[in-house]
Amino acid sequence: MRHIQTDKAPAAVGTYSQGVELNGTFFFSGQIGLHPETMELNDDVGEQIKQILSNIDGLLESQNLQRTNIVKTTIFLTDLGDFGKINNAYESYFAQPYPARSCVEVSALPKGCKVEIEVIAAN
């Protein structure tokens, strides 16, 4: 197993790795809308989603991967009423066929954010 560390995504805010790679499969920890340079969080869920997708791009880029390498996403929302915003972001971020996806509502997320997305990618 290989540890992944990059400044192209926010540093871990706890006892976890940004990601790990095992046999060509990349497991990236959940990303929240923190800006990697300032570690600040915009309160708007749409802006958080944009920043999260940018953070995911940074993780992928650090491993010479592309969005097409993503095979599974898991999305955590504090309000399922924001599900439509996720779908809109997906339409502009991914091309068909879309990766597999799970989406659940949770009572709270780190740093008071409204959405968190984790991805699994493969070569």
Residue boundaries of the structural domains of the chain: 2-122
Strands 70-77 and 25-31: unpaired
| Fold (CATH) for 2-122 | 60s Ribosomal Protein L30; Chain: A; (3.30.1330)
CA-atom Rg of the chain in angstroms? 13
Confidence of residue 13 (pLDDT cuts 50, 70, 90): confident
Percent of the chain beyond pLDDT 70?
A: 100
Distance of CA 27 to the CA centre of its chain: 11
Q: What is the mean pLDDT of residues 51-71?
A: 98
d(CA 109, CA 113): 6
Q: Is the pLDDT of residue 39 over 90?
A: yes
pLDDT of 35: 97
pTM over 0.85: yes
Percent of the chain beyond pLDDT 90?
A: 98
Return the active site residues: 103
Q: What is the mean pLDDT of residues 42-54?
A: 97
